[in-house]
Amino acid sequence: MRGIILAGGRGTRLHPVTRATSKQLLPVYDKPVIYYPLSVLMLIGIREILIICTPEAVSGFRSLLGDGRHLGISISYETQEEPRGIAEALVIGERHIDGEPCALVLGDNLFYGPTLGRTLRDAADSLEGCVLFGKEVADPQRFGIAEFDASGNLVSIEEKPAYPRSKHAVTGLYLYDGRASRIAADVRPSPRGELEITDVNQAYVEEGSARFVPLGDDCTWIDVGTEESLFDAGDRVRRLAQEHGVRVGCVEQVALEMGFIDADECSRLGRESGDSPYGRYVVDVARSLNGTYREGESP
């Protein structure tokens, strides 16, 4: 399975802080936003990852992540000149996907929870068509909302409905079979001029090959598209670190737990971070886990 992180857009809802940098390079407590979706793809077991960003942001992401080999993965880059919709990521990433199953995650979405890794890997292992991950929300008018029939089968997805048929929002993480790029290429721009990911998902729904997987109560999903959600995400990550000793989105820890790197390499990466709390955490993870995966420790 291949992975794509869509880290494009201009971040206008976060101006002026995003005038000089990408939203996905802003900090959420102790690490850049991009670490969180990257750790999710790695947690699925994905090692070939494409980051799609604006032309201006490529150098920043390269400086931060390079080609990914230090994490035991391969990272490549493509640009999205203008924000023309989430579905365009599947078109831009066609060569990267190369007809293989893929996972697409939005670069400003955070997911964490003790059962998250197992849920994602189970969904990937049984993928047929597409898998959409959902969470119940209090304000469904702001999201793509799933509708179910009396038997609980997914029958439609409506984008930002005025009269929602459920409170189950589709999150910014999607698993697709090898047809995703072809389906996305046939999507026509919506009235707002974008290639909507809802249209791709609806195509799978209509053929009966879309599955909706609700994330459990112990899994958290945050879209950090606003200043309030960015602050809230940082506060939650800080409390987890200070109260439970867990640093959500630690890509070095996930790489170690997934067997992408060994404990020696993890320790070296921690030392490269200098005498920062994050660096010391990575070194401690290498010492304590010693390359052994422990369920529940991943973000």
Could you tell me the pTM of the whole model?
Answer: 0.94
Spatial distance between the Cα atoms of 118 and 131, rounded to a whole number of angstroms: 15
Q: Which residue carries 């959409």 as its tokens?
A: 132
Mean pLDDT by 10 residues, the chain (299 residues): 93 82 94 98 98 96 98 98 94 97 97 95 97 94 92 90 93 98 96 92 95 93 92 96 94 97 96 93 89 42
pLDDT of 59-68, one tens digit each?
999 999 999 9
Residue partners of 240: CB distance under 8 A and separation at least 6: 112, 246, 247, 248
SS3 145: strand
**pLDDT the model gives residue 298:** 43
* Alpha helices, H only, 144-185: 180-185
